[in-house]
A and B are shown apart, each in its own frame.
Chain A
């Protein structure tokens, strides 16, 4: 994007971040999920609506920038959708995936856009207050306590779906140059300049599940699979296996809410 003028430049932020050495990332796979206290994972004959899965796959350049790749993104999107269908079918779910906002009969583009934007804002709040440390005392011990409200209920009534799933997945593949940089850093170890951990690819996925009968966000999960060493990776969204692995990590181990688990434990 090129604005006519800016007072403070954001445009080169990506390059600056790459130059400044990037973020300190843990070289492993982390997941952390939250659920509504009363949540039990959907099973039996339920209808699930997946709204415009947001998938991007890019190449990690030598200097650490992310170059979006249309072909990889397309591969990853179809692999993820296939894996998602297979996984949900195994639980008895009937899945509809919407790629564009005009594909849902009886719901206008504007209504769907509103739901998506509302969900985005709510997801941001969840990430802020559950993952990034700004914990709210009023939400302590309440599991996942957010809702999309009446709009989501109306969507459910109009379409007959039980749940809506919002899915975000981004992944990178280290370029040859980035791998060479890591190898160079490793070679330096022999003469006293050891820097093999220049930072490799990072896969970040998150999903939120909304109960369309109550409007509540009943479940939220984040998967972060990051590598410090270019060339070593913990998943590849482009392949069917990598996509299935991601869907399993993200959605496969859905835990019931605390109240439900407590009740189960008593029994």
Chain B
């Protein structure tokens, strides 16, 4: 075996990791209809295993059970769920991270961090439609079968290479190892293809429902910005996700493909909407909780970026208060965090929707600056808003 032949075998093994052409939304037809239940033996087995998983998730104490919000999510998946719209179940987990996932039997889990990041209903619908796409295109059973087929072929091939090599008196172990790497790489490529399919299907589904499909591309733009900001504050470089071992396409690639998808699925003359008002009205009641969970991650770069992004739709007392919290919690005086926090609290209390805690921290900041009179007035405003505050006795004693 020459080194050259090994090189070419290696090149052949690697070539499967190269990015492929964009998947067109028009080609994404649903592969399941309403009320789908599996009939193939392997899929029945997969579904059976999911029963317990769903029982576990449905009773998890991480779930947010607010009927208003869960009903809203159900309503959206009922709109962008294609033929299976009425079959989906959707759960909201209180996890301050950007993610959502679909399980093989048609139940989805949305992380609360997603509701913080989405700026309108079209963006949220885009993510939910992406997840629906996984179910409608039968991705779980397809990738399972892909894995089974490739591991079968590899095992037989490796065995035959061993026996054939022994018979012919040559050692083929190096080729077997290359084939193993090649097989692994094609599994990851297949997974990335499934994600690209779900993105294309999602764009098609939300456009059909009258949402602006361009919002799906904007999601990734926002996420790239958030991760850059997060990495920058930590003095690191953002992981761009280009890897032969990635299960998902890189964020930049998804953003670009979704932009092209949006242009393709838009029908001239039809009006598209992002339904921002309905979105804000529905998630409004839990937004303080979402912001609170985010700032406590102590990731100031990401938190400030998120707040700035939300503030593109207008600053308010809540956003200014949590901006202050980001810097108060980082608490590096040498970098002026205390000053920055104090400025945000002062800005927050100007708005009528400033939470009581904004007045509290505004007062404490003023106390530290020695502006006692103003501090006392801010703190008494706090007490007026929250007479039963846990620290009410201390505040009363302070303001005398």
Point out residues on A near B: beta carbons under 8 Å. Answer: 1-7, 9, 11-12, 14-16, 18-19, 54, 56, 58, 61-65, 67-71, 73, 100-101, 109-110, 113, 177, 181, 184-185, 187-188, 191-193, 195, 198
Contact = CB atoms under 8 A, between A and B. Distances in A.
Nearest to B46: A68
B214 interface: no
A17 B396 CA distance: 63
Interface stretch (B241-249, B303-311, B381-389): B241-249
Given A3-B101, A9-B191, A193 B166 contact: yes
Contacts of B153: 63
Given A1-B101, A62-B156, A15 B45 contact: no
Contacts of B47: 70
Contacts of B291: none
A110 B59 contact: yes
Contacts of B198: 2
Given A19-B180, A19-B183, A181-B159, 6 more contacts: A1-B104, A62-B152, A62-B156, A67-B42, A68-B46, A69-B41
B88 interface: no
A207 B45 CA distance: 24
Interface string B163-176: 10111000000000
Interface stretch (B143-151, B334-342, B345-353): B143-151
Contacts of A63: 148, 150-155
24 contacts: A2-B134, A2-B140, A2-B195, A3-B101, A4-B131, A9-B248, A12-B187, A15-B150, A19-B180, A19-B183, A58-B45, A61-B148, A61-B151, A62-B151, A63-B154, A65-B147, A113-B56, A181-B156, A181-B159, A184-B163, A191-B163, A192-B166, A195-B159, A195-B162
Chief secondary structure at chain B's binding surface: helix
Interface string B60-77: 010000000000000000
Given A12-B247, A68-B48, A19 B162 contact: no
A242 to B, nearest CB: 19
A192 B101 CA distance: 49
A181 B152 CA distance: 10
3 tightest Cβ-Cβ pairs between the two chains A and B:
A63-B151, A9-B247, A193-B166
B147 A14 contact: yes
B102 A2 contact: yes
A70 B48 contact: yes
A5 B99 contact: yes
B175 to A, nearest CB: 14
B151 A56 contact: no
Given A2-B139, A65-B147, A15 B187 contact: yes
B49 interface: yes
A188 B45 contact: no
B152 A177 contact: yes
Contacts of A191: 163, 166-167
Interface in B88-110: 98-104
B376 interface: no
A185 B49 contact: no
A188 B166 contact: yes
A62 B153 CA distance: 8
Given A9-B246, A195-B162, A56 B152 contact: no
B115 to A, nearest CB: 13
Contacts of A18: 151
A18 B143 CA distance: 15
Contacts of A61: 148, 151-152
A71 B48 CA distance: 9
B297 interface: no
B145 to A, nearest CB: 10
Nearest to A56: B49
A64 B41 CA distance: 18
B93 to A, nearest CB: 12
Contacts of B152: 61-63, 177
Interface string B288-330: 0000000000000000000000000000000000000000000
Contact of A6 (B42, B134, B150, B247): B247
A19 B154 contact: yes
B150 to A, nearest CB: 7
A20 to B, nearest CB: 8
A71 to B, nearest CB: 8
B45 A16 contact: no
Contacts of A70: 44-45, 47-48
Nearest to B38: A70
Contacts of A69: 41, 45
Contacts of B194: 2
Contacts of B46: 68
A49 B351 CA distance: 59
B3 interface: no
Nearest to B183: A19
A4 B130 CA distance: 8
A192 B140 CA distance: 41
A5 B98 contact: yes
Contacts of A71: 44
A64 B155 contact: yes
Contacts of B143: 11
A6 B251 CA distance: 11
A3 B165 CA distance: 42
Contacts of A198: 155, 159
